[in-house]
Each structure stands twice: as C-alpha cells, then as structure tokens.
Structure 1
Amino acid sequence: APGSTGKTLLINLLLAKVRQKKIALAVASSGIAATPLTGGRTAHSTFKLPLNLIQKESPLCNITKNTALAKLLTDAKLIVWDEATMSHKAAFEALDRILQDFRNNKKIMGGVTILMAGDFRKTLPVVPRGTRADELRACIKSSYIWQPVKQLTLTTNMSVHIHGDPLAAQFS
C-alpha cells in the first residue's frame, strides 16, 4: 500500500484483536520494517530462515518439531508479514513447507491466515548479481503460493483525512 494509507495502524489493530484470544505473529522483511509492528521481528529470525535462500533448491526453516517455536507456529491463527514484497519467494515457500508439516495440513501455509503487506511499486527482492528478470522470478507473485491470494488495496491517504488539511488532499 502507498504511504500514509494507515497500513501499520490497521496491521497493529488486527494483531491486537486476534491476540485477545489467539496467537498472532508479526514479522517483516527487515528490522526497520518490523520496528513499528507490535511484537514485530524479522522473518528470518522468527522462522529461522537460512541466509542463503537462493543457493538452495528447497530451503527449509531451521525449526525442530516439539519445540516452543514449533508449537507457536502450530497454534498461530494469523501471521502478518510486512514488506512481504521485499522477501524472496523461497522464504515463503520454506515457511509453507514447515507449516504444512507441523500442522499436518496440506493447504497452503498449513491453513494459517497470512496477511502479506507491502507495495510492489517500491521494492522487489534483492538478488545479488541478478538481472531484473531474476528479481521478478524471485518475487512472491511468481510462486505457487500467490495463486489463492486475495488482494486488498489501501488507497486513501488517511493522514489527510485525519488532519483535515484541504491543501494536502490536493497532493495525495
């Protein structure tokens, strides 16, 4: 979503609502992006993703069954992944494999609701020494995981509405 649409506020409200009774995890593609999320951490840290995602055929999360983290992933009702557009599709596919295994559920992401937030107009995954085509192939949209995704778009500049500045509205 473009800037000032209230994406972070909406994400934090969703996390708070779900966390009233259930488990919701908040991750982001970078530490900077994780900072404004309540309880946010990097996806690599949370899911124990390998640093060399693109060097392996089918990378896996380094999480063992019967651990506290495995139970957390098994019990989670919502996973929010902010700036998802910056992450390599292999990261999502690794998470998909581990969630299907831990939850004994062959649905995509083991049936967990995943909210992927980000703006494809901003940043695609970084592929070291890769071409533009390599970046597009690394994008989540080129993964089997993207097929069932229901896309919602935030378009209204909420800071203009909240502050009621008619001059700012002309430029939003």
Structure 2
Amino acid sequence: MLQEEPGGETFLIRMILAVRVKKDIALALASSGIAATLLPGGRTAHSAMKLPLNMQIIETPTGNISRASGMGKELRACKLIVWDECSMAHKYALDALDRSLQDLPGTAQPIRNALILFAGDFRQTLPVISRSTTADEINAFLKYSTLWRHLLTLQLMTSMRVQLQNDESTEVFS
C-alpha cells in the first residue's frame, strides 16, 4: 500500500510498470477512468477484473473471470498488479480481487502472494455510494477491509519526479 504525498505517485507507478520491458506481465488498474488514462495500458479495476458496480448490495462480490478466459490466463501469469486511486474503491473491491486471485490458481492464501501495489491518497475521495449515509461511506472505506492487515503501508516522502528532473522551478509547484 503506497500512500502519496502530492507530486510523484503517478510518476513512480509508471516507473514500476516498466517491468513490462522484461516481457513480464504487469496489470495497471485504477478506480476511475481518468486515473486509468494516466497509466500505460491502464484500465479501470471494475472493467479489468469484471467487478460488480453495486458492491455495497452484494454480500460477497467477486470478479466474473474464468480460469480459461484471456484475463484469467493473464492474471495467473501476472508478476505485478498496480491499483491506483484505490482509496476511492469500496472495501469489498479488495475482497473481490482477493477471491478472484484465489480462484484462478486454486490457492486459499490471501491475495495469492502476488505483488500488488495499491496506491492512493486517503485524504481525498472516499468510496461513492449512491443513496448512502456518511456512515455507509466510512464503513466502505478500504482500511476497514478484513484484508487491510495483510498490507504493508509505505508513504512517499520525496517527489521522485522533481528529484529526477533536477529543476528548481518544478520543486516550487510540487
């Protein structure tokens, strides 16, 4: 889990996704379409993982991905999954991702021991739930997922985009 400070999260994710140069499969997901367009090969998590849009009314949501499908094969071979703006996702989306990854190779370990990078700023948008109360939105918060304790949380302290550009004027605006 990567929590961002302003000015560098997307840059860092793009650098991490460069693992594709070695012909390894890296899946770039985002909680919103706009965030997905900023990532090379990015797709929304709901589209790529076939997640239901109404997470809050399904007791145990799961991605509708079969083992034999193209996406099923891609997920089994995947070395890295990056989920940007995960702070906007419903906590059940993390559970659905976990269940989908367990179903594919037939293992019961949480998150399949895959390398997954969840990135987001929890000071920004909470999950949006139609016709909900504030309590519903807080309860849907990703940090309340039962899988949260399995994640290692890191925090960006330095904007690598600014550091690598070595431009003083860039630092002023980051």
Check whether TM > 0.5: yes
Question: Which amino acid letter does the alignment assign opposite residue 92 of structure 1?
Answer: L
Query: Which TM-score applies when normalising by structure 2?
Result: 0.89
User: Higher RCO, 1 or 2 (CA under 8 Å, sep at least 6)?
Assistant: 2
Structure 2, gaps ≥5 residues long:
none
State the one-letter code of the partner of 2:153.
Q
Q: Which moved more, 1:150-159 or 1:8-17?
A: 150-159
Return closer, same or farther for 1:133/1:103 CA change in 2, 3 Å cut-off.
Answer: same
Corresponding position of 2:114:
112
Report how far residue 160 of structure 1 moved. Answer: 5.3
CA deviations over 1:28-82 (Å, ceiling 9, x no partner): 0011011110110100110011111111111121112211111111111110000
Contact 2:101/2:112, CA 8 A, preserved across alignment: yes
Letter in structure 2 aligned against 1:150: L
Distance across 1 between alignment mates of 2:55 and 2:170: 47
1:159-170 alignment to 2 at 5 Å? 161=163, 162-165=166-169, 168=172
Q: Secondary structure at the residue paired with 2:154? A: coil
> 1:28 touches 1:42 (CA, 8 Å); kept in 2?
yes
In the aligned structure 2, how far is the partner of 1:67 from the partner of 1:132?
38
Q: Return 5+ residue gaps in structure 1 as ranges.
A: none
CA distance in 2, matches of 1:38, 1:154: 21
Once superposed, what is the RMSD of the aligned Cα atoms? 1.9
Distance 2:14 2:43 in 1: 13
Q: Which residue does the alignment assign to 1:59?
A: 61
Q: Return the offset for 1:158.
A: 4.8
| Superposed displacement of residue 167, structure 1 | 8.4
CA distance in 1, matches of 2:39, 2:171: 30
2:5 paired with 1:2: yes
1:70·1:102 contact (CA, 8 Å) conserved in 2?
Answer: yes
Q: Distance in 1 between matches of 2:17 and 2:36?
A: 13
Aligned length: 169
Corresponding letter in the other structure for 2:54: N
Whole-Å Cα distance in 1 between the matches of residues 138 and 82 of structure 2? 22
Partner of 2:104: 102
Residues 1:167 and 1:140: Cα distance change in structure 2 (over 3 Å): closer
The code of the aligned residue for 1:2 comes to E
Return closer, same or farther for 1:42/1:136 CA change in 2, 3 Å cut-off: same
